[in-house]
Chain A
Amino acid sequence: MIERAHLHELRERIRRIERPTALVHGVLPFGIAAIDQVLPGGGLALGALQEILGVGGDEEDGALAAAFAAGILGRLGLHRTPETPAPCSLPGASLAGGRPGASPPTGEGRGGGMVLWCLPRPDLYGPGLAAHGLDPARLVLVRASRDAEILWAMEEGLRAPGIAAVVGEVGSLAAVASRRLQLAAERSGITAFLLRRWRVGGQAAHERALPNAAVTRWRIAALPSKSLPGEPGVGRPRWRIELLRCRGSEPACWEVEEADATGHVSLAAALADRPAAPVPAQKFRLAG
């Protein structure tokens, strides 16, 4: 009896050593098969540091990165089960959260808990966040003018109970600081998002090249929208989501459209940019 208990404990320990540390706290699947397949564990690693960049003019404003983060945070909750990730089984759960007014997702991936958002300029807009699925009532905004203060606030947030996620908008990030954030996130199981925003191109180029301890590095770019038949004007927004770096996986790139009336986020047809692993084409679903 005692030997069996020992054996079980040993097996657990070996399994914990073999499993990549990024998955200690579970994953949050995106609900889009193409993205989930690439990510280790089938989803975004919780209790880890994720980095999100912008492209071109959006590097200064960080609107797309904020939208991406808001979409994830809308489904990120306090109640995490370490081993079994909460699958998003309902079509209503999507990256963009559906149209304003659509019923919020009621599956297990429902978001809850406070989110600490640290930013240098107070330009986050509540109704815009709500449109992406993040209830602004969950937000605590922390405004700090210096990057060091934002990183300090993020670290404080990563140690507090009752926080579901921490978001920080920084320009310069030292590798040591990112390591501290990653360790703090691992210890507490709170997911941290770093949104990189730069004003000066030189600083941007320099900072982009620096390595850091984030588990994943995303880059979101805007694409011309897809026109709706019979409706002039701005159509359905499209984005390019690039996974530049991921611990335990290869880089990848997807083009995604905003959810339509049924709430499905769909993958656009052009997947030509994907390098590496060949995946059979019938696994992707195209927009109706």
Chain B
Amino acid sequence: MPLADALSFLPSLATAAAEPAEDAAALRRLAEWCSRYSPWTAPDGTDGVRIEITGSAHLWGGEEALAAELMARLDRRHVATRIAIADTLGAAWATAHFAEGKSPIILPPEGCRAALAPLPVEALRLDPAATQGLRRVGLKRVGDLYAMPRAALVRRFGESVARRLDQALDDLPEPLSPLGEAPIRRVRLSFAEPIADPADLLRATERLVADLVPRLAGEGSGARLLDLVFHRVDGRVERIRLGTARPSRDPRHLVALFKERLDTVDPGLGFEDVILAAFAVEPLPPEQIGLPGHPAGPHPIGNEASGIAPLLDRLGNRLGLAAVSWLDPRASYIPERASVRVPVGETLASSVAPAKAGAQGQPAPRPGSLDPRFRGDDETRPPRPIRLFEPPEPVEAFWLLPDDPPFRFTWRRRRHRVTRADGPERIADEWWRPEGSGTGSRESGDAIRDYYRVEDEEGRRFWLFRSGFHVGDYKPRWFVHGVFS
């Protein structure tokens, strides 16, 4: 009935505006909180949460204990619930919504068929038209549908009836797509008394890492993406996400990385659960270390790079993983493409490893062997500046003849008079590249650059280029691309 009618019946009716968005958010938070029982949780509709407890029920002492604990915690939060545990999602849903009996209801294994039979057909999660149709022909209970021929049901009421029935009876799988990704490895620590002290948090982190590392070692893999999730007593969830440049299972290193971020989590009244989950692991074979007391021999290349991997992780996790990079050469005439910054985390993720990658994707510096793409193919290639500006900085230049270098230019509000110049070196766009070129990205007339190495009266040497030609009234533009030493 409309609200006005209801108010006319009962003027003192308490009303509140419906907030479906907030309700949905609260349901999500509840589902997130339920992830302390299992990582496979998802909100169900507008008023339920699905949890897949296969394989995690034993951690709580059995399904009854788990259900009882869940019930108790939700009662403490003043959430009225009905809990049902069954073999299949469909059966659990039906039991929770329609079965009579005291919650929590746990169906015995293989007992779905018998338990579902007395429930009304609405328990099969069908749409209202289908349930009305079923009722009209006299099929009021789920048990009535067992004996009906399948083909007739589908023809009359649609295939959803058969599908839901099969899902409830475990003849058809119904996967649960969890909130967030499913972790590969997960360890959990619960506390009888909530903890909030930073020293306690650190010790909990150390315990969890010490738990996780042997499992990774057993598989010969190392973690690259880790999540440390803290469950607060009031239901909120805080997390710290950590990435490493190289797979790692060194407990000291991982604890040090977490320790730096521990003060970003707000414990509120305390944490009752701490969960460490690994989302990305990669193979990590055992490494040869030096014997104590013996001087380390000449470093094999892999060890040299691995020695700085903890440093790269620390730098990357504080400054951002994109802030730490290698310089990678590329075979390209366009100057800004010839040397590319590659973030350290990417060399492992990408399948196209740089040409100089070592066994585990780390660039292997070999003293004395300079990559030829950095050096230039021959000695006659003009020199390259040591500083390159991205993007090139525009200058105002004055020149006499169209092909001449400028005799004066103004850059950053300073005037420079050119005493000597070398050039031009013409660099055009790379027509063989499908995605277009860097030089032609601005305007269609600027596809060709003429580079000049100029020296001003003080002795500073710049790398200027002219972009575009004198065509009619079009004036080409000049830029400073780099500074030489």
Residues of A within 8 A of B (CB): 56-58, 60-64, 66-68, 70, 77-78, 99-102, 104, 106, 110-114, 116, 122-132, 135-144, 149, 152-153, 156-157, 160-163, 221-225, 227, 232-235, 237-239
Contact = CB atoms under 8 A, between A and B. Distances in A.
Contact of A136 (B319, B327, B459): B327
Nearest to A115: B365
Interface in B286-331: 299, 303-308, 310-312, 314-315, 318-319, 323-327, 329
Contacts of B344: 140
B363 A137 contact: yes
A224 B420 CA distance: 9
Contacts of A111: 367
Nearest to A131: B383
Contacts of A227: 420
Main secondary structure of the interface of A (DSSP, over half): mixed
A123 B303 CA distance: 29
A66 B386 contact: yes
Given A61-B483, A140-B344, A160-B311, A130 B374 contact: yes
A222 B485 CA distance: 7
B296 to A, nearest CB: 9
A123 B341 CA distance: 10
Given A66-B386, A129-B327, A140-B344, 9 more contacts: A123-B388, A126-B329, A128-B388, A137-B326, A162-B311, A224-B458, A225-B461, A233-B423, A234-B454
A238 to B, nearest CB: 7
Contact of A122 (B341, B378, B460): B341
Contacts of B469: none
B308 A162 contact: yes
A64 B485 CA distance: 5
B484 interface: yes
- How many B residues touch the partner, as a band? 35 or more
Contacts of B390: 122-123
Contacts of A136: 327, 329, 339, 371, 374
Nearest to B366: A137
Contacts of B326: 137, 139-141
Contact of A128 (B368, B454, B482): B482
Interface of B: 299, 303-308, 310-312, 314-315, 318-319, 323-327, 329, 335, 338-339, 341, 344, 356, 363, 365-371, 374-376, 378-379, 381, 383-390, 412, 414, 419-423, 453-455, 457-461, 482-485
Given A100-B375, A130-B370, A225-B420, A234 B455 contact: yes
Nearest to B384: A127
Contacts, number: 214
Contacts of A237: 461, 484-485
A194 to B, nearest CB: 17
B240 to A, nearest CB: 20
Nearest to A143: B323
A116 B310 CA distance: 13
Nearest to B411: A57
Contact of B338 (A57, A116, A126): A126
B324 A141 contact: yes
A193 to B, nearest CB: 14
B325 A126 contact: no
A128 B370 contact: no
Given A128-B388, A129-B386, A136-B329, A156 B461 contact: no
A105 to B, nearest CB: 8
Contacts of A126: 327, 329, 338-339, 374
Contacts of B460: 56-58, 222
Contacts of B374: 126-127, 129-130, 135-137
B381 A100 contact: yes
A123 B387 contact: yes
A60 B387 CA distance: 11
Nearest to A123: B387
- Which of A101, A106, A126, A135 gathers the greatest number of chain B CB atoms within 10 Å? A126
B338 to A, nearest CB: 6
Contacts of A67: 386, 485
A129 B373 CA distance: 12
A100 B379 contact: yes
A66 B327 contact: no
Contacts of B371: 130, 135-137
Contacts of B335: 125, 127
Given A110-B367, A161-B307, A125 B458 contact: no
Contacts of A77: 367
Given A132-B485, A143-B325, A222 B420 contact: no
A67 B371 CA distance: 19
A100 B386 CA distance: 13
